[in-house]
Amino acid sequence: MNELTTNESRDSLFDGELICFQHQKGYRFSIDAVLVAHFVDVKQGDRILDLGTGSGVISMILMYRWRGRVREVSGIEMQRSLAELAMKNFQANGLEHLGSIIQGDIKEIETQIKPESYDKIVCNPPFYTPASGRANKNPEAQMARHQILATLEDFLRAAAFAVKNGGVASFVYPAEQICQFISLAGKFRLEVKKIQFVYSYPHKTATSRLVLIQCLKNGGTGTEILPPFYVYSEKNGLFSSEMMDFYKKNKELLTD
């Protein structure tokens, strides 16, 4: 089950302590997943749901960093090929006792889980509408990156259904679409409470490519704008110190 097949690659995080099998020509996780995984505030006994888990990398980062604190991390994935890969990754890292995978359609989330049964939601939804963004010839990658199987509204509705009252849902999304996100989130009583814009590197003319967003179900008014996050220290440079920290093993968090 944990052997590398001919159509897979074996990648790693945290100095090799977390391995991730990925399809060589299918969907492969990007920096977006690493960013949003580290944006989640985890408390003792939290049950966390990862909507559209893909290969399970966000769930695995959360379990690796917080295995002494988190109670359970579940992932829902619509594509069977990715759902099976995510379960393989959980098993390869010895995390199957903390994590589970549901292969199903988030548009039918009522048939998959009980309402308001999770403390936290995390989601890296498809960014592009079917007619926008860069097309990918691989169907698995195309469906993971484009809103073919489900729209942003579908993901927000699923998050609102799954998270408990007063629970938190964390997302990563294109910064240029933040107005659409806030409008749709409010429709499902997910009030935006924290926003952090992500930039490639510090520069006075730089524009943000991504935004990290935390929503509170039935939260009140008031939004905190966090300091900007820079992925690189400079143009064509190395990762920033903050980004480097996201890739370092962090033993003390395991039993925090």
The tens digit of pLDDT for each residue in 148-189 reads: 568 999 999 999 999 999 999 999 999 999 999 999 999 999
Nearest in space to 83 (alpha carbons), one of 59, 108, 114: 59
pLDDT digits (tens, 9 = 90+) for 54-88: 999 999 999 999 988 999 999 999 989 999 999 99
Determine the topology of domain 8-253 in CATH: Rossmann fold (3.40.50)
Model pLDDT, residue 26: 77
pLDDT at 250: 66
Residue 255: the pLDDT is 44
Q: Phi-psi bin for 90: left (phi > 0), alpha (psi -120 to 50), beta?
A: alpha
Average pLDDT, the chain: 89
Is 256 a residue whose pLDDT tops 50? no
Token output for 31:
């920096």
**pLDDT tens digits for range 14-38:** 989 999 999 888 778 889 999 999 9
Q: Are 250 and 65 in contact (CB under 8 A)?
A: yes
Distances (CA, A) of 183 to 39, 116, 124: 21, 22, 18
Average pLDDT over residues 90-108: 95
Angle between helices 57-66 and 80-92 (to 10 degrees): 20
pTM for this structure? 0.89
Q: What is the pLDDT of residue 140?
A: 47
**What percentage of the chain exceeds 90 in pLDDT?**
76
Give the C-alpha distances (Å, rounded to integers) separating 169 from 12, 111, 193, 213: 26, 20, 10, 8
End-to-end CA gap in the chain: 31
The confidence score (pLDDT) of residue 53 equals 95
Largest separation between any pair of C-alpha atoms in the chain: 52
On the question of pLDDT at 143 being above 60, the answer is no
Q: How far apart are CA 60 and CA 40, in angstroms?
A: 13
Question: What is the mean predicted confidence (pLDDT) over 38-43?
Answer: 95
Distance CA 250, CA 254 (A): 7
Write down the domain spans for the chain. 8-253
Distance CA 189, CA 235 (A): 39
Residue 254 has pLDDT above 60, yes or no: no
Instruction: Report the pLDDT value the prediction gives residue 131, as an integer from 0 to 100.
Output: 57
